[in-house]
Structure 1
Amino acid sequence: MNAPLSAPADATTTWVDRRAPAFLRPFLRLARADRPIGSWLLLIPCLWSTALAAGISAGEGAPRPVQALGLMLLFAIGAVAMRGAGCTWNDILDRDIDGRVERTRLRPLPSGQVGLLGAFVFLGLQALVGLIVLLCLPPFAIVTALSSLGVVAIYPLMKRVIWIPQLVLGLAFSWGALMGFAALIEALPPAAFLLYAGSILWVVGYDTIYAHQDREDDEQVGVKSSARLLGSATRPWLAVLYAGAALLIGAALVAAGAGPLAYAGLAAFALHLAWQVRRLDIDDPALCLVVFRSNRDAGLLLFAGLAAAALLA
């Protein structure tokens, strides 16, 4: 492995640069440990589904707050491990493309900080952590989780094939909307699939915002994205995507018999999404990143409402 270079072009100085041992920094960057927003966005649908499922089980006379909290902790560990594994797999497949994009050219693989063999070993270690977490779940949840692996594996290739690879990312990143139900009540009721569908639209929306940072570079290297496809029409389409997400999640709450506080959380979530649509400027990459990252707060607002409703169920 070559000596560590400077931080990648798409990162500011983070705890990885300040505190991590030098030999670990390239691997931590490979897993995006210096940018935890991805782990948050992978975790949040898991939190939503666990809270909503806890409300359902409470309504059936079987409240499980301790079990739900334990599941959320497992999901948090799994989200960090699997997001890191996903980023590593993405960078393995995209190492040649990343070297031609200004924002990503100093990532560990294209810059030579990590070799291909080292990346595969690191990928295996992260997958092992994910497997350990998976084996702590009920059999129904294990099968549900394993069903997502095909989508996860092909996502990095989709930007070469379809104009909205964000849709495949949505299928993968929203899988947690099923996992809380699968783990807590060992079933997938209609509310689970409605929540999953709403989460998919949310992911497509926020990742379109993110993709506008690379729109010009993607055009030069021939990579497809919803940002390139929608261009100046992004704002109205984002409004449609976010409205659809809110409506489908609202339908999930109805199907689950959620309490008033869940709808308060949904209202706060929807208002935050409306703010994003209003605030967005697709020609300002720095602002696109700020708006994209704000989706953590949007997701946590909804989770707060769902968790409060479950506790009062």
Structure 2
Amino acid sequence: MTAAPTRSSHPVLPWLAALAVMVMWASSFVVIRAAGADLSPGAMSLLRVGSAAIVLVPLVAAGRVRFPRTGRLRAAVIGWGAVWFAAYTLVLNASELFLDAATAAMLVNVAPLIVAVASGLLLGEGLSVRLISGVLVAFGGIALITAATSTGHVAAAGLVLGLLAAVLYAGSVLAQKPLLAHIDSTSMTVIGIGAGFLACLPFAPRLAGEVADAPASSLLAVVYTGVFPTALAFLLWGYALTRTPAGVLTSSSLLVPAISLVLAWLLLGETPPLLAAAGGLLCLTGAGFAILPNVLAAVRTAPLRSRSQPETVPERCDDPAVES
């Protein structure tokens, strides 16, 4: 077995990639909210993921995609793609039929806490007092958003769908990190998006029926979400995820609700209900209290690690059951 080649990058680059991803993902909440008036959730998912799949075809043609050799790894990557790019997008689209863009973004971005708690319980990283305190504060925020549903300002269906999207988001991140030890991030992204596209194909008749009546602006906006917040953003996300801890990187999504709020206010003229906004702020405060110290520590120590030893790529094994 030959040693894998050494690769190195500036320690700030993964965080710059993550910042670009957060801006693109934030814009997608606004587009989904606006286009939801013209396209159903399933049709929107198919158009988004289909657009992403099309722009990634050149990577396949150029030989940049390496398909897993074992059935187990193929099944794992395909299943991950179906959840991330089909189920998550479908649930998110449906949630924004009931929620404004900023409230949806705040609910979905409870995901960093889910990742942190799951990492502590399932990966043996432990649950610190800070993490538990952050969880309690965040759940207080969810309680406020729930209270907003009883006032009629936030639909209960939107709350449930938003939290389900957060669970799917967190589960996809937790599943992707170990798989990246056995497949490169570009290949995983391209194969995953292809799997998501196939999973969305049952919505093709609905999309065909809605395209004729939908304005070109809505169609182009959804295509944008496929090219940028999906194809490009997930390539950058995979790059960053191979170089940073999953829980720490996922916490960067705490920026998304704030960016979404500004974009929704500027482009759609909407702001979340006051009680829901307060709840969302509590969610983000709890998540930030629990996780942001780890982010700052990782950023401070990255230059020291990069000077002391080069970053290396673990030798990849095509069977996740075998340790690399």
The two structures have a TM-score, normalised by structure 2, of: 0.30
- Structure with greater contact order relative to length (CA < 8 Å, sep ≥ 6): 2
The two structures have a TM-score, normalised by structure 1, of: 0.30
